[in-house]
């Protein structure tokens, strides 16, 4: 808004200067000629102020659009991070509740809804059970089961 005021004040000052110059150049002659000079100067200044206001409005609009986009992107990333954390927590709770599975031996990582299971389990059945728990959690887009069966089980 400060920039718009500067352009408006500059335009008005320009009008006054041009108008006074038009009056001074009319040492002799009808008042209409001097009035016409003032009118022309005011029209020119008004046009300049209008152009400046339009440019200022465009700059402000562009800045607002960019700011909105940055905020929207940040909100999307935050929502995804919260969603991934929620998915991981649900899977770990499911593993903890399942007899025979150890939440300390099975690591869960979620990125954009894709879950990766790593660590060790006692049997192929335990590996399948952990993967099934992961697949059943809301928001899971896929499960990469990298669990290793511990031969010493």
37 and 62 part of one domain: yes
Asked if residue 142 has pLDDT above 80, the reply is yes
Domain that holds residue 47: 2-77
What secondary structure letter does DSSP report for 118? E
Mean of the pLDDT values across residues 19-46?
64
How confident is the model at residue 16, as a pLDDT? 62
Q: How many domains does the chain have?
A: 2
63 and 91 part of one domain: no
6 and 72 part of one domain: yes
CATH number for 102: 3.30.1340
11 and 73 part of one domain: yes
Distance CA 107, CA 44 (A): 73
The region of weakest confidence among 50-54, 100-104, 116-120, 142-146 is 50-54
Per-residue pLDDT of 73-103, as tens digits, reads 877 777 776 788 999 999 999 999 998 898 8
Domain boundary at 59, 77, 95, which? 77
């Amino acid at each position: 808004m400060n920039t718009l005021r500067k352009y408006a004040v500059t335009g008005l000052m320009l009008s006054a200067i041009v108008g006074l110059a038009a009056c001074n150049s009319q040492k002799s002659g009808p008042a209409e000629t001097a009035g016409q000079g003032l009118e022309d100067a005011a029209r020119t200044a008004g046009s300049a102020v209008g152009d400046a206001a339009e440019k200022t409005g465009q700059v402000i609009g562009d800045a607002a659009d960019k700011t909105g986009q940055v905020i929207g992107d940040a909100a999307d990333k935050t929502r995804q991070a919260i969603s991934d954390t929620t998915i991981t927590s649900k899977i770990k709770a499911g593993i903890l509740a399942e007899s025979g599975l150890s939440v300390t031996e099975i690591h869960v990582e979620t990125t954009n809804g894709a879950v990766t299971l790593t660590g060790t389990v006692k049997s192929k059945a335990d590996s399948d059970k952990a993967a099934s728990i992961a697949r059943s959690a809301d928001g899971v887009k896929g499960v990469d089961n990298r669990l290793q069966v511990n031969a010493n089980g």
